[in-house]
Amino acid sequence: MNRYLAFFKKEIIEYIRTYKLLIMLIVFAIFGITNPLIAKLLPEIMKNLATDGFVITLPDPTAYDAWTQFFKNATQMGFIVTLILFSGVLSSEYSKGTLINLLTKGLSRTTVILTKYFSMVLVWTICIILCFILTYGYTVYLFPNDITYNLLFSVFCLWMFGLLLLAILMFSATLTKSSYGCLLITGIIVVFFMIIDIIPSIHKYNPISLVTDNMGLIMNSIKVSSLYLANLISVLLSIISLILSIVVFRKKQL
Amino acid sequence: MDFQTLKEYLPFLIPLIILENSLSITALVHVLRHPHYRFGSKVMWILIVLFIQIIGPILYFTIGRGEE
């Protein structure tokens, strides 16, 4: 346990010194503020774009628009920034050879993988909570009368998909030596999830539904119970990826 | 956009401006104090960091920053 804590501390210090924590916090805070703002200003912007004989009318913005922005930003830019920042999780250690000292001193490879995963998870959790709180605060301030359903569960699904992505990232980091290879494998797996989503009967089990059904949840057009299976499968896949990455990393030559 | 509308959005704009600028300023300070980059020159990185909002500083810290 002591080793986990020591290595965990090292990881967090690394995130602070390499500015990764700062970037994540600022980027998610910016998203948190812009989500409701864009929703509120979009009709205004469209009005300015309109010229003679070409009028764009949009309905009055609601809290749903703000949450649409939230889930759009978090699942696109949010995930991209997170993955790019964390893509060097093992490759930077390989290239600098910093792990060799620790491993020869008796740190187990399982500890390395698990601690790295959980420190990434910690940063991701803090960022998504920050983004959520900011969006929630400003949305309530701008659109006080709109009712949203299942908000927390919807964000929980997003968070859960983040955990799965980080586990896949960890696994692909053990497979390759470079951070680009790691990003590529993660990208291919996500695209694979998207492609199999075409088959309607798989949608219920596909983890990608955790980030595509959020707006349905908030508008109460999708039942909460329909996502239980996807959540469960997402947890299982995360655990499998972690176990696989430990197995691969143990055999890996540093 | 008149002054009244601007005033209405100040609670959004002030934190937003502070956040975006703090990101670029941290990156700018880092560019100036560590003159070794994986590629590119100091001038190039200063321009990227200052004029590409959000993405510029992220690019610098992820792919542009040299090892100490």
Do residue A84 and residue B62 have CB atoms under 8 angstroms apart?
Answer: yes
pLDDT tens by residue, A60-102: 888 888 999 999 999 988 999 999 999 888 888 888 888 888 8
Q: Phi/psi class of residue A19: alpha, beta or left (left: φ > 0; alpha: ψ in -120 to 50)?
A: left
- The pLDDT value recorded for residue A40 is 85
DSSP assignment of A136-155 equals HHHHHHH-TT---SSHHHHH
Interface of chain A against chain B, CB under 8 Å? 18-20, 22-23, 26-27, 29-30, 33-34, 36-37, 41, 81, 84-85, 88, 96, 138, 141
Helices (H), chain A: 2-17, 20-49, 63-73, 79-86, 91-96, 98-104, 109-142, 151-175, 179-196, 209-212, 214-218, 228-251
pLDDT digits (tens, 9 = 90+) for A218-240: 888 888 888 999 999 999 999 99
CB of B35 within 8 Å of a chain A CB? The answer is no
Q: How many structural domains are present in chain A?
A: 1
**Beta carbons within 10 angstroms of residue B55's beta carbon:** 12
Give first-to-last CA distance, chain B, whole Å. 47
Backbone angles phi, psi at A41, to 5 degrees: -90, -15
Question: Does residue B59 sit at the A interface (CB-CB below 8 Å)?
Answer: no
Amino acid at A27: V
**ipTM field:** 0.86
Residue A52 has pLDDT above 70, yes or no: no
Supply the pLDDT for residue A204.
Answer: 87
Look up residue A143 and give its two tokens: 């659109």
Instruction: Give the residues across from A54 on adjacent strands.
Output: A51
Strand (E) or helix (H) holding A254: none
Residues of B in contact with A34 (CB under 8 A): 16
> Residue range B50-56: average pLDDT?
87
Residue A117 lies in domain = 2-251
Q: Which residues of A touch B9 (CB under 8 A)?
A: 37, 41
Residues pairing with B65 in the sheet: B37
Q: Which of A18, A27, A138 sits opposite B12 (nearest CB)?
A: A138
